[in-house]
Structure 1
Amino acid sequence: MRKVSLSQPSSMPSLPCSNIDSVSLNDPHNEEVAFDVNNVKDEGEGKGATGQDDQSDLIEGKDEVLVEIEKLGNNSRRIRFQVSIDASLETIWNMLTDYEKLADILPGLASSELIDKKDNVARVRQIGSQSTPFGLRFDSRFVFDFYEKELEILPSGKRRNVEFTTSESPFQVFEGKWSIEQLSKSDSEDYDFSHDQEFQAFLSYSLDMKPKFWMPVQLVERLLCEGTKANLLCLREEAQKKIRTGVGA
């Protein structure tokens, strides 16, 4: 198992869209994907996304996106992400479940369309888009089923989860959950709230994924780590902005 701390912005170059070829991850016959994938070398199980050895210490600061990567098989991974957010559970929840507005917040999401919603189950079509250092933009199409769970009251706060599966994706397996846990300022002994801090929450994203046979897991893992890190940081920025301004908080 690898643990990686990702606190810095992505080092991927910013390229104008006119200079980036679009490649669909859903297309197994795309020769451009095969060519560039062969140029990506596996850094081994002893290395994380930062290129540091597994034994290196993590500094668990508030501004970091923490990542844990577990190898489940030859071509599958379990990846867990966590970021702290100075916002309420309700604020973060409302953002995550406003599915049609997610593309306005998340840089890795080109579109998000609510197909149907019944009770606490939402079916959503999303198109993801991410640039790579090779000058390509990878596009991927998904149809998600999101299962919105009930609020849980904990001894030190409260938690609410959104679990998801996919009925259409470029993966053999792509499922997991979003989890929001808000600490209670009066009951939490393990977290040091700042003097003027009203809320403290942790947003976690857990994913089990197995790409289809033609897509090497090392490349997909790297793209997912970079893209999810950027998405989490943007979610945090937007949630904390809502708290500061009182708009949508």
Structure 2
Amino acid sequence: MPKQMHHADVPARNHRTKSNGPMKTILSSLLLTIAFLFAHPADAPASKENPLLEEEQQKLLEGGETIVSLHRNDDDIIDISGSIYIHSLPERIWSIISDYNNMAGTLPRVMESRVVSENGNVKIVDQTSKTGVLFVKIKFHTLSEVTETYPERLSFELLDGDFETFSGSWLLVPAQGKQGTFVSWSARVKPTFSAPEFIMDAVQKRDLRDLLETIRELSESGRTGDGPTQAKSAVTAS
């Protein structure tokens, strides 16, 4: 609950404001620097819709852009999605994002990843990842249930971890008449850890962009990371 302000508090507050002028200037410059570092012309307007549904955005993707959008709801649940076009077939891309036990050597910011159990097309995946910027460093854990529909779609749902909400899906859509695939990742996220909203939002967009572009690089270069690839699985890295 906000502290009630009394008239006696005002002189002291004004005094601190004057003495902290240089510090406020430094802080303002730092915030502007962070905003500049995370600004990107290809970021889509905040929307809950799948970017792949828009023909204009498909053209941007085919032109090499990575599109990421984020919408923060009133209940602090974040809707985030990202899309990319990869000059590779869905089966190839699927094999890369399914290498659970070697993700720490393949995908950015994944520290540990392993399959805990599996039953047909449903797998339980345990992951530890890290993220952050400048003075904000975050390490988080997820235990997720992944349901796979090879090689088109896979969905994930949080069972336990450092989030109140973490659910979403990967979608792989072949481009008509081309040896390429539209790849999208979307999720609803509400972490239990705290950080300034503008930093958290910028970091999530950056991390998703890095993830998608790493998958594109691996797919188009023919590399699969440091370990063997396991087909028909899924990834919940965020």
TM-score normalised according to structure 1 size: 0.63
Q: Which has a greater percent of helix? A: 2
Q: Which amino acid aligns with 1:114?
A: V
C-alpha displacement of 1:94: 1.4
Q: Percent identity?
A: 20
Alignment RMSD (CA, Å): 3.4
Structure 1 segments unaligned to the other structure (5+ residues): 1-35, 44-48, 152-159, 186-192, 194-198
C-alpha displacement of 1:104: 1.9
**Corresponding residue number in structure 2 for 1:211:** 191
Change in 2 beyond 3 A, CA 1:122/1:181:
same
Q: Which amino acid aligns with 1:232?
A: L
C-alpha displacement of 1:214: 4.0
Cα distance per residue 1:84-139 (max 9 Å; x no partner): 100110011111222112222211111111111110011111111124122x5321
**Corresponding residue number in structure 1 for 2:173:** 181
Aligned residues between the structures? 183
Corresponding residue to 1:242 among 222, 225, 236: 222
**Structure with greater Cα Rg:** 2
How far apart in 1 are the matches of 2:185 and 2:111? 19
Structure 2 segments unaligned to the other structure (5+ residues): 1-26, 47-55, 232-238
**Corresponding residue number in structure 2 for 1:171:** 163
C-alpha displacement of 1:174: 0.8
| Counterpart secondary structure, 1:73 | coil
C-alpha displacement of 1:40: 6.4
Change in 2 beyond 3 A, CA 1:137/1:204:
same
Report the more deviating stretch, 84-93 or 207-216. 207-216
How far apart in 2 are the matches of 1:205 and 1:100? 20
| Counterpart secondary structure, 1:64 | coil
How far apart in 2 are the matches of 1:51 and 1:83? 15
Cα distance per residue 1:202-224 (max 9 Å; x no partner): 11000101223744443322221
Residues 88-237 of structure 1 correspond to what in structure 2 (within 5 A)? Answer: 88-134=89-135, 136-150=136-150, 160-185=152-177, 199-212=179-192, 214-237=194-217
**Corresponding residue number in structure 2 for 1:24:** none
Are the equivalent residues in 2 in contact too, given 1:75–1:217 (CA < 8 A)? no
**Corresponding residue number in structure 1 for 2:67:** 66
